[in-house]
Amino acid sequence: MLNDETFDVLMEIRQVDKQISHCKHQVEIETQQLADLERKINRVQEEKLKALSLKHCVEEQTLYLNKEFEHIHQVYDSSIEYFDKYIDIVDDLDPNDSDEDDKTIAELVKRRDILLKNIQQTAKEKEEMASKLNDIELQIRMVQKRNEEYKNKLQKVLDQKLQEERDLQAKLNSD
């Protein structure tokens, strides 16, 4: 039969063994939580890269559209100048000329009016695109801000979990 001192030592060993098992279990849980946090941080960074890529694409499209709109405006402006000049020349002609001149003038005026309408429509579309671009940029900034806040939050939790793991390791090593 065991004496009381041996029994107390065995009970103490058993208690320490339970603590060690508990600490090991905590370390495993904390390690899993750290891995989960690292995956979340990676996902946030991937989302941030996607947002930056989207922003870059939008900026490239905006530059392209601005160049196209500028070219369209130049063509329309030169066409309007041409038609205005031609109409001025035609206006200077003798009013007793044939009906063919009247038809030509009417057609030129009609084309000029169509071009003016197209310019106005293009300007309106450009404004709409600029508005959409601003909305997209605002959304990108909001997502970036949210991702940054989430990343900071995850980093704090990660730091806390790492500290807890170090504390558990230190406690485990000291026992």
Q: What domain count does the chain have? A: 1
pLDDT of residue 18: 92
**Dist CA 153 CA 173 (whole Å):** 30
Listed in sequence order, the residues at least 6 apart from 150 whose beta carbon sits closer than 8 Å to its beta carbon are 40, 44
Q: Phi and psi dihedrals of 85, rounded to 5?
A: -65, -45
Backbone angles phi, psi at 3, to 5 degrees: -80, 170
Which segments of the chain have a pLDDT < 50? none
| Residue 14: per-residue pLDDT | 92
pLDDT given for residue 123 in this prediction: 81
pLDDT in tens, 111-129: 888 888 888 888 888 888 8
Domain hosting 29: range is 4-174
The label of the residue with tokens 């601003």 reads 134
CATH number for the domain spanning 65: value is: 1.10.287
Inter-residue contact 137 to 58 (CB < 8 Å): yes
Per-residue pLDDT tens digits for 140-171: 888 888 888 888 888 888 888 889 888 888 88
| pLDDT score of 89 | 60
